[in-house]
Structure 1
Amino acid sequence: MSAISSLVPARFLTITAHLVIVITIFWSRENNVKACLPLEFTPEQYDTEDKKLVVALAVTLGLFVIELAGFFSGVSMFNSTQGLLS
């Protein structure tokens, strides 16, 4: 199997693994927010950091939709140069 023909399956597996990691972070959001705060924090600090994390994860999921749409539509699936950069 040449490097070019193995690029599509490797890219699909990488995108899928990244999506699973982001969803896992979303589910364990409370622990991640507490990890970035000092030992004694106020509810306002928690809410601020939680909101930042939710926004970042929402943007990430939105961009995943765009990337998967391009991948599954074939626009970037068989273009090896674009697939390598994505």
Structure 2
Amino acid sequence: MTSPACASRDGVVAARRLARWLGLAAAPTFAIMALLTAVLGEGPADMLCAAGHGSLLGGMVPMYLLMSAFHSAAWLKLIAE
């Protein structure tokens, strides 16, 4: 039988692993969303970003690309290791 301290430590380790994998999943997910939005068309979801039209950052594709860039820290840490 495992002690509560051991079970708690295992939970912390599992949570850290999950957080690392989620961090690694974010950047490619947003990059794929940007690609799909660019290829398939922006459609009704672009209405949410209508305020930015007329600038380089208007629309869903630039938003997804920026989100991908902001979430790339996990990949940079992995590469640096």
Give TM-score scaled by structure 2 length: 0.51
- Unpaired segments ≥5 residues, structure 1: 39-44, 75-86
- Unpaired segments ≥5 residues, structure 2: 1-6
Q: Point out 4+ residue stretches in structure 1 off by more than 3 angstroms.
A: 48-51, 69-74
The structure in which a higher percent of residues are helix is 2
How many residues in Structure 1 have an aligned counterpart in Structure 2?
65
Instruction: Classify 1:69/1:4 alpha carbon distance in 2 versus 1 (closer, same or farther; 3 Å).
Output: same
Aligned partner of 2:63 in structure 1 is: 56
1:24-83 per-position Cα deviation (integer Å, ceiling 9, x unaligned): 211111335124368xxxxxx8xx499422331232122113x32685469xxxxxxxxx
Larger radius of gyration: 2
Write out aligned runs for 1:40-51 (5 A): 48=53, 51=58
Q: Aligned-residue CA RMSD in angstroms?
A: 3.4
Any conservation in 1 of the 2:42–2:60 contact (CA below 8 Å)?
yes
Give TM-score scaled by structure 1 length: 0.49
Of 1, 8, 18, 1:10 maps to 18
Q: Report the Cα distance in structure 2 between the residues aligned to 1:7 and 1:22, rounded to whole angstroms.
A: 23
